[in-house]
Structures are given as C-alpha cells and as structure tokens.
Chain A
Amino acid sequence: MKLTYKKKRSIAGFLFVLPFIVGLLVFFAQPMWLLIKLAFTNMKFGQGVGYVLEPLKNIFDNFKYAFAGDAYFPTYLFTSFGNLFYEVPFIVLFSLFSASVLNKKFHGRTAMRLIFFLPIVIGCGLIMNVIQNGTNEIMMTSSDELSFFNTEGLTGLLLSTGLPEGLIEVISTLVVNVSDLVWRSALQILVFLVALLSVPESYYEVAKVEGAKAWETFWKVTFPTVTPYVLALTIYTIIDSFTNVDNKVLSYIVSFSNTQIEYSKAAAMSLIFFAVAIIFILIVFLIFRPFVFQKDRIE
C-alpha cells in the first residue's frame, strides 16, 4: 500500500506529538478524571488509608453549593477578572519594550540581562517566602504581603493636582502594582528577547536602506514579526495570573480544601474556575488571532 504524501505527513505529525498524548493520558487525564469524579460525589475518608466516594442526592449539589452556599467563592471568581484588563496589556507591552531595549548593543548589556533575569529565579515564591518570614520575625509582625515599596504618599500628591478621582485610583493602583508587574514580566521579557533575535538582520537592513525611522522600523518590521509571540505570551500572562499563588480564587479553593477537608466541594469550585478561565482565554484568542502575522504552513 502506498501512502499519499498528505497521509504520511499526518502520521509523522502524530508520531511527533505521541509522547505528549501518552503523558496526557497517564499524568493528566487520570488526576483530572479523579477531580471530576470528586466534584460529582462526596468524598469521605474511611478508617484506614482509603477513601470512599458517596453518591450525592442531586448530582450537581457541589456546584450548587459553590454558587449559592459559599459566601466568598462567587465574589472572588468575578472580581479576580477585573485586574486582568490592565495587568495583561501592561505586562506584555512592558516586556516587549524591555526586550527591545535589551536587544540593542550597549555597554553593560550582559549585566542588565542578568538583572532582568533575576525575577525568574527570585520570584519563584520560595525565596520571597523566606525573606518575608525573616522580615516578619524582625518586625514581630505576621503580614502576608511583601511590601517593599510604600506608595501612600503618591495618592495624596495626585489628589492635590485636581485630577478626577477615578483616574487617580487607576494610576495609584498601577504604581502600587508596578513593581509586582515588573516582577511578573521576567519570563515574557526573556521570550521576547529570543523572539527579537529571530528577526533576520536583513529585514532591518532593508528598512534602513528604504529610509525608515527607528520608530517605523519597530512598528512595521519588528512588531509584525513578533505578533505570534505577543499572542502566545498574552495567553500565558492571563494563565499566569490565574494560576498565581496570589490569585484569590485559587488560594481560596486551596485553603478551603485544606481547612474544611471538603475535597468534593473544592473540586467543584476548581472545575467552575477552569471553565471560566478557558472561556476567557478562548475569547482573547479569537479576538487577537486575526492580527497575528503567520507564515503559511505546509498542509
């Protein structure tokens, strides 16, 4: 039997992806399946090491609880989206800008790249926790928030300029969060840095010969070529703020399952959370996809 070229390609593609499919079934589908089972039953720990899944009277009881019975979950779920609208554009544009600055040749570039890489290492949560515990010990306090920067003075300053209060609130929240956002942009900066390296030098030569200004070169050469990465990183940034340890919904679910030992209800909440997150990401994807510059692929 002779296979057509198209058929061969689709088999080859499947084989390239095969390891992932195996991993998906073994290490993702199984835990997810357990999570789904938990959400539709009531998990009870037995006397020994085992556990039993008791059937519910109404199969959607856990979901009903999440929306109607729980005091915090619905509010947390919907308020946690509000921040995304300024956080995500800021992080993506800031990291693109930083990456293009770091991509230029100048003295001290290596040191600067190292500094911009630091948040990936330090910001992993572990180190920050240790530092925070240390400061708490010294100050004899027990705050959860790491507040290196005090920005209360700024709000007062802005109020005296007579700007509308709504605007001031936006600005001051932005400034308060700016250090946090910078910390969360490190991975994006690194990816953009490599994306910018993959723009062939000849594109820039052409732009230069044609007399393009630096600004025009950026918007008409650099930006279009990195749009695939802009889309990917936008999606990643959204996911990252969902799965961040600081995310209110997530930390609520985790603490709920740990303190109340209500794994079934927590499972239902997390399923709702995933569904909302996926819908949100899908909307963003469909809105931005038409703007992405793509080289055609072989069918």
Chain B
Amino acid sequence: MNSELIHVVDALPGLIWTALPDGCIDFLNERWREYTGLSGAEAYGQGWQASIHPDDLRELLDSWQSIRKSGQPGEMQARLRRSDGEYRWFAFSARPVVNDAGGIVKWCGITTDIEDRKHKDDSARLAERRFASIVDGLPTMITLRTPEGNLEFANRRYLDYFGSTFDELKVWGQSFHPKERADVLSTWRRSIATGQPWDIEARRRRADGIYRWFHTRGFPLREPDGRISLWYNLHEDIDERKQAEALVAGEKRVLEMVTDGHAMPAILEALCLVVEDMASDCYCSVVLVDSNGTRLEHGAAPSLPATFINAIVGRALNVDSGPCAMAAYLNQQIIASDIRSEDRWTASEWCPMALAHGIEACWSTPITSAAGNVMGAFAIYYARPRTPTSQDQAFIDQFTHIASIAIERERFQVSLKRALEELRMSEGNLRTIIDAIPGFVWSATPDGNVDFLNQRWCEYTGASMTNACGSGWQDAIHPDDADGLPAYWRSLLESGVAGEFEARLRRFDGSFRWFLIRTVPLRDEGGNIVKWYGQNTDIQDRKQAEALLEGEKRLLEMVAGDCSLTAILEALCKLVEATSANCRCSILLTSARDTYLRYKTELGVRLTHAASAGVPTSLMVGMDGHAVGIESYPCAMAATLNEQVIIADIEAETRWETWRPVALANGLRAAWTTPIASRNGKVLGTFLILYGEPKTPTPADRYLIEQFTHLASIAIERAQDAGALSRSQAFLLEAQRLSSTGSFSWRVGTDEITWSEQVYRIFGLDPEMPVTNEVIASRHHPEDLPVFQEMVERGRSGSDFEFDHRLLMPDGTVKYLHTVAHGTRDKNGQLEYIGAIQDVTERRLSEEALGAVRKELARVSRITSLGALTASIAHEVNQPLSGIITNASTCLRMLAADPPNVDGARETARRTIRDGNRASDVITRLRALFTKKTVSTEPVDLNEATCEVIALSRRELQNNRIVLRLELSDDLPRATGDRVQLQQVILNLLLNASDAMSSVNDRPRRLVVKTERDKDDYLVLSVRDVGVGFGSLDFDKLFEAFYTTKESGMGIGLSVSRSIIEHHQGRLWAASNDGPGAIFSFSIPQRIEDATETHRPINIRKSAVQEAQHATGNT
C-alpha cells in the first residue's frame, strides 16, 4: 500500500487493518497504533492479539478463523485494550479482497469502537449474554433466525446436539431426516411468507449420526411496526416421547389388531414392523413355542429372509438350537452382541447361519404369559455388533410385553371366543332354561325396581317388559291383593330377608290366576344386597284344589254336624259356583218312593228342587215333584236314564223345545247335568251346572263334577239314613212301647246294667237312675224274689235264660214280666247278656182269666161231660127202665082184664126181666168206662210213659207255674201192663199234685217225679209236691171213691187209680213230706218174660223224653 493511501487510511476515523489470508495482520493504521499503544512491529503478525482482552481472544480467533474459512465478510467483537489499559469493546469487521481470479489476496477490516454501543450492547449484550446463558441453560434448543431464514443464533445445547459450529449449522435443513425434509421446508417457507408461527415434528440427525425426533416451533419477533425482525425457534427433543408415542401407537395398533380379531401372524408382524420402525437398522422376529412346548414355531419376521426363518422354525427348544430357542427354553434373555465371537450354539451351527445372512448381533428375549409360561421369543437382529443400552432394554421389555399381551390376548381371544361361543350357547341355554322355568322369573334392583321379567311373564300378562319394569308390573296384580303386595315387598326390601307372597295376576285375557311370588336377595362379598331375584309359580290349580278341599271339608262337617239337607246342598251349590267361574248350579232330588223304569218315559220321574244358588226361577218349571218325562228338561233325562247329559251349546241343541228358549233367554249357553247316585246305584237326584257361554267339560271339569256329585250323594244318603235311622229309632221306641217290651244289657263281670226307655217305664223308675241288681230286686214281688235270684244265678253261669216273674209296684199293682236273655262273650271273654223284658201282665191276666175261664169251662165241661155222662148213663138206663115200667104197667092191666091176659102178662114179665138185665149191663159198661175189665199185658217202659204224660201235660203244668223235676232211674226194668191205664194214673197223680200247689206263692212250686227200683225189684214211681199237704187226714180216706177235696173233683181219680194199680198187681199209697206237701207213689212188679205174651213194638219216643225234660228246664 502506498503512503498516500496509508495517510488516508491513517486519517480515517477508524482502526483499520489488513491481514493476510492466513490471518496474520500485516497492517494496522495509525489510529490503531495510537489506541492500542502498540507499535506496528509489536502488533503485526500475531502481536496484535495482545491488545485483545484475554477473555475474548479465543472467540475472536474462532470467529476470525471461521470468517476466513467462509471467505465471506464477517464481523467479530472483542475488547481492545487502550493504551491506558482500559478495555473497550470494538467490532471487527472484515472483508476479503479478491483478485480477478476470485482468490482472496487480503483481508481488510475496520475495527470500530462500540464501547458505548457495547455498553448499550453490553447491557443489551449482558442481557443478551444473560439471555444467552439462560437460553443456553434451558433444556431446550433455541435458535434465532433472520427473517430470511438465516441462522443468527443457536444456543449451546443446539450446538452441542448437532455437534457442529455455528457456521456449519447455518446451512438450513441439512440436519432434517430425508423423510420429513420436504414437509419441513414447505412449512417453513409458508411461515416465512405468512409470518405465522410454525410447528413441525421431524427427525434431525445428531452429531453421532442418529436421527432423533424434534418438535420445532417458530415464533416471529415483530418490530413495533409489525415487521418481523427475528424468528425464535424452539427445538425440543421429542424423540423419546415420539418413540413412546410410536410405541403406544404401535402398541395400540397391535392391540387393536388383537381385539379386532386379526390373525396372530398379522399381529406379530405388525409388532415387528413397529419395532423396526422405532429402532433403526434392525430386524425383528417373533417365534412361538408350539403347543407341545418342544419346538419353535414361526410367529412373524417381516423383514427377515425366508431362508433364515426356515432355519429357525422347527428348531427344538433347548440351549443349543439358537438364541431364541435357548431364551425360550431357559426363560432368560439371551444377548449375542457379537455373533462372530460367539461360541454358543455350535452344535446347531446357528452362528454361521446367522452370519451368512449378514446378522452380527442378536438379542432374544422370552415372551412369557402373565402366569410366567414361556410362549415364545422376541428377537432383534442387527447387521452390526451391538449391545443393548438400557434404553434398548426398555424397548425390548416393552415390546416383549406387548408381544406377550398380543399372544396371550390372542390365546385369550381364542378361548374367549370359545368361551363367548359357549357363553352364547349357554346364554341361549340359560335363556331356554329361564324360559323353560315353569313360572315367571324376574329380578329387581336393591331399591325394588324390577329390571327384568322373563318371556313367560310378558306373554302371560300381555305386557311388554319395558312397560312392566320399574313398578309397572304392579298393574297386573288383582285389586284385592294390590294393597298387600307392595307393602310386603317394601318390608322385604327393608329387611333384606327372602320372602313369599300369594297374589292373583291378571292374564292377557283379563282373567286372574293365583301365583306364589318368591324372592331372594343376592348379596356381594360385603353382605350388601346387589339384586333381588324372584320367581312366580302358578298355584291357581293348587289354590282351587285348596278352596275345593276346604269347601268339601266344610260340607262334610255340615253333613256330620246334622245340618239340614237343604242347607248342605245350598252350600254345595255355592262352592261349585265359587270353584268354577261364571256358572250357576242347582241340585234336584228324586222322589224317594219313585220307581222309574228305564225306557218307560211315560212313567216319568219326580224331581223336586233342593238347592239352586244362582239359577233363575223361570228355569225351575217342572221341578216341583210332578212326574215329568225325559223331554221336559235335561235333568229329567239324566235322572230317568241315569246318564250324564252334556249340552255344550244350548243354541245348537234340538231337544227340550220348551226348556231351551227359557234357558237361552236367561243368557245360558251350556248345561251339564249329572245324576247323583246312591251307594247301590239308585238315582238320588241330579246335579246341574249352567254356563253363560258354550262350554265342553275338560277332564278337570269332569273330575270336579265327580267330586261334587259324590259329596251330594253322601249328604243326601246321610240325610236319608238319618231319617231312616230316626224313623227306625222312633219305630223301635214305639214298638217297644206298643209291645211293652224293653231291652237291656247286663255285663255280668261288672254288674253293669243298661236299660232301654221302655224297661224304665215297665219298672216305673226314673230313666236317670242307675240300674243295679238291688234296684231290680227291690221292685220284684216278694214271692218271686227266688225266681229273680235264680235268674241272676243262671246268668252268672253263662247260659241263656228265660223266666216269668212278677213285680210289685209301689201302688200295689202286680206286673207280670217275661224275661229272655242271650249271653255272649266279647273279645276279652267278658260275659254280657242282651235281653228283652216284656210286660205280660195284661196277657197273663187275660191268660189267667182265660185259664180261669178254661178251668171254669173245664169244670163246666167236666160237669157238662159229667152231665153228658150222666145223661148218657141216664139215657142208657132210662131206656130199659122205661121198658120195665111200661111192661109192668101193661102186665097189671093185662092181669086186671076180664079175663086176665095171662099170656100177655107173661110176655110183659119176660120183657121186664130183659130190660132189667139191660139196665144192669149199662152199669157194667159204665164201670168199664173207668176200668177196663181186661188188662192188656204188654211191656211198658215206665220212664218213657212218664215222659209222654209230662209232655202232654206240659202246658197245664206251665200254666200252674210248676217247676218240674224228673229223677228217672237209668236202670229201670220194664213192667207188664196196660200202658194207657198206667199213664192215666200218672196223669192223675200229676194233676193232683199240681192242684195241691195251686195256692203256693211263697216258694217255687216244685214237683218231683221219680222212678226207681225198690229192693224187691218193683218199679216205684212217686210224685212229690210242696203243696198244701194232708195234715192229719187219714190217707186211706183219700182213696175212697168220690172223695174229693177239690172243688171240681169228681173224686174218682184216686180210687180208680188205685184199682188200676191193683189190677197191675201193684200198690198205690200216699205220705206227707217232711216239709210241705205230700208224696204219692205206686209200685208195680217188673215184667216176667213170658213166651205167650203178645209182643207189641215198644214205641220209643226219645223226643218225647227230651221234650219233657226241656219243658221243665232240666238238661
């Protein structure tokens, strides 16, 4: 430079300098030298650096260097030391001087004092510095760019991050990832153009070459006039966040794939892609453990070559097959960070295989299920040796976790699908079950709102579930139950206790049925109620059956309780009408004495109305007991034919032309009438049910009809039986009264005596009085007490007895009683008599009167017969007497005649003698009436003859109350004689003895007839009585003819008897007893066997013997 120029340069108000291209200062102007106090020689080259503040030197040099490098004008700043030592800020502005070739020959620069500015700047700069330091300190990267987009400032982090100098970074956009660069640029340009802030996410290359995600935002700094002076750019490393986002997004995508039901391979592939996207330069694969747990299966490996995959898949799960196999086998992460230097898996030659595919690092991590089972392995392969950083590890953990989720989820998905399928099916089953539950199922929330009602409920009520939920279901409850049920429901909700309630629910058709509503609460583990479950069961039939049963029971009680038949049948009709809806019922009874014949309709049947709760009276025509035919009304037909008549629809019926219109007019459309039958099949009446609509009986209806007719038959028959019983009781009572017969029972062991009413009346005792033998004895006639005693003794001995005895009543009247009793033993062997006592007083009195009359008659007849006898004697004798007298008279007259008729007289005398003889003959014959001249000789069995006589005279003896006793000897020989005559003698003796006791009343009239053999072998028969006896009378006088003490006696008895006996070579005598009475005996010799005797067959009449014995009470 020439000196002029130098002067000019020296004069310039600035510090001017020039430098060589290498940076050495080769010129400093005067001012410079003056200011710095350095000479040119000191300052040239590098010396000038001594004037720079040490703190700024480094920067200045750096800036100087970079400016030089760039070849562009630039500016630097530093503190320059003044000659006085004070530092002042100066700006160094440098410009290159280029030659024609464009090469830089020199640098020139001007350094201006910017101290003030710097102070301003300094404060600004301080502020700036502070700002810069702050900004440098911020954990973000900040850059400032000019409105044109040139980098003006970059904070430390920024610089550090990108690892480049400021200048290097000036070139905008280089650091962006190729994929995002275009977007970024266009966004930036748009922002610059519009002045709008910009916001972008993009990857930028770090100093070490790794791309990381950045969120860059640009804000314009505007001048007061609105111009943009600067752009503030914030750069945030969001790589981790982005990674996390990507990870999350990836996870989400993968999981979505899982939930969307994508196939497992696709899921795993997506997973691998996500990983490969995230990390760079890696290959990812997932292998799965097969179902046996022994081999590897292919999971996914989207970026690996098939050959590699095939080499891995199928390998056995062991430590030798490879890293994945080993990882899966051991459930351990296997890191092969440098395969080349690996010595494992040599057996399977895995390493060579991997290396051949360009894989130099492998990290294999086992994928385990939540339970810890190894499902597979997740492998990342690298083309370069690599060891996982902690961040890598974190990623690996995440991805294996996702993979495990995916796989598990896949597996869950499959089983879930299966479970869902099963659930769907079981839900279907559940639905079917719920719908099949014979009842209604519902549930309610703890506050009582119903939230579910099953199909059946809705079908039944006809309400939809939506309407019925909440409390809408209450509309279906019967009004009568509607109050009780909600109250009960509320009490259950409060108490939390399971309960049940019976109520009527309305069916879709408006009818009501009874239901049993049961509900139980469902509690959670804490014991709180989470739900109420309920079930309704149709109990209509049960209720109906209960009501029916109740009604039947009441009816039977009425029947047993002697209610009137009408009341019972009315109640039955009411029960029917209550049981069956909408019906009327009536019962008709047939006439008791009605005999209708089948098919003879003209005979007709008589029906009377018994009960008809709701049947209109207009229909009751003809049911008043008149005979009606089967065409009158259906019940008549049923009663006549004894068959059920069912008219399902009266309108369609053609029979009963008169009855039908009346029925229809009353709104009746169906009639069922059933005959009510007695036990033996006789028709008692009819049972009719009428309906307002056409109806055919169901089996249930038929069953009910059967029940009701059975009940009715029970009631009717019982009423009839009761009537019959009371009638028969009345009959019995009346009969007893009429016949004066009472019945009694006597328990011998306890002497318990029961009397019928009539017996009390007979005895004249109060029916309330207890009856004892003492009471009975006290009533007896004193004379008959022995009889009573005998009766009691006889009873105690157990045999049947029959007695005649008398009572002496308090008023003195005597009653004659006849008692018959039959003894039985009950199951305990106790003896009990059932007997009848008949008051035979009247009969006895009349009998006695009769007897008296008969006696009188007998006496009279005896007299009469005596008269007759006398008459016949007289007649017999009178004839010859009359002849004698006549002849004698004639004789006298003849002799008195003149001449006397001697011949005539002679004749008359002859006749007279003849007649006299005749008369004599009569006498002889008369005698023969009493005694036979000839005694016939035949064998006579005296015992038998005696018994015959007794049998013949039984009645007589009984009438005289004779107590006969036979003592017939067993070894009595036979006699010879006239059987009849001997019997006459015996009879005579018996009658005499009977007569002798006719006045005996204080003792039994005992009569003992005895046969025996005496010491001379004579047969002796004796008759002993307890009668009046003979006192001091001479017995022989008794036998005098015609002697009699008896009023009516002829007195020939004993004398004739004696002569008969004497004719038999026997003897008849009498003696007095020791006690009262006498004993008459006769003896006759026994039979002497004689060949000349005429044999007559002995007439053995055993029955006669028995009769006689029975008659006298001897057994």
Q: Do the two chains belong together in a single complex? A: no
Interface residues of B (CB under 8 A from A): none
| Interfacial residues, chain A to chain B (CB-CB below 8 A) | none
